Amino acid sequence: MSFEDIRTACVIRYPYLWPREAGQGETEGRKNRPVAVGVRIERIEGDLLLLFPITTKQPEGGRFSAEIPAMERRRAGLDTDLRLWIILDEYNTDIIGHSFYLEPEPPIGRFSKAFFLPLVREFVARRKALKGVSRVR
């Protein structure tokens, strides 16, 4: 196995650390959850990943999030019987090859470009007002 299949719009399992938990001094994600790879940026020291959490909990009003349609849940390898949301107003960053949390396992699925790229574009437009947690050690 290798990390080569981990690309933008794929869904992997990852111990996501919510910014509110990091703000309380926690350093480990409480559980492995599906996350969407928002972008993979090639770097000499290891490629940087931007990761968005996927949750069953409906976000509060005003959050930058998107409900994942049934077809996209199937493409992404997610449970099609559950309502799921991708949260885009917070994220984790990690570096392939230097991470304690990333495994060289194949993605569980992938979102379509038609669904995912508009969300990433909107993220880029809002990025300065959003909360991130660096998992790089």
The percentage of the chain sitting over the pLDDT mark of 90, rounded to a whole number, equals: 77
pLDDT band of 38, cuts 50, 70, 90 = very high
pLDDT at site 1: 58
Task: Compute the mean pLDDT over every residue in the chain, rounded to the nearest whole number.
Answer: 93
DSSP symbols for 39-71: EEE--TT--EEEEEEEESSPPPTT--EEEPPHH
pLDDT at site 91: 95
pLDDT per residue as tens digits for the range 98-123: 899 998 889 999 999 999 999 999 99
Cα 93 from Cα 115, distance rounded (Å):
22
Cα 72 from Cα 78, distance rounded (Å):
8
- DSSP state, residue 129: G
pLDDT per residue as tens digits for the range 80-93: 999 999 999 999 99
The percentage of the chain sitting over the pLDDT mark of 70, rounded to a whole number, equals: 99
Contact 1, 105 (CB under 8 A): yes
pLDDT at site 81: 95
pLDDT per residue as tens digits for the range 39-76: 999 998 889 999 999 999 999 988 999 999 999 999 99
pLDDT at site 130: 84
Global pTM value: 0.94
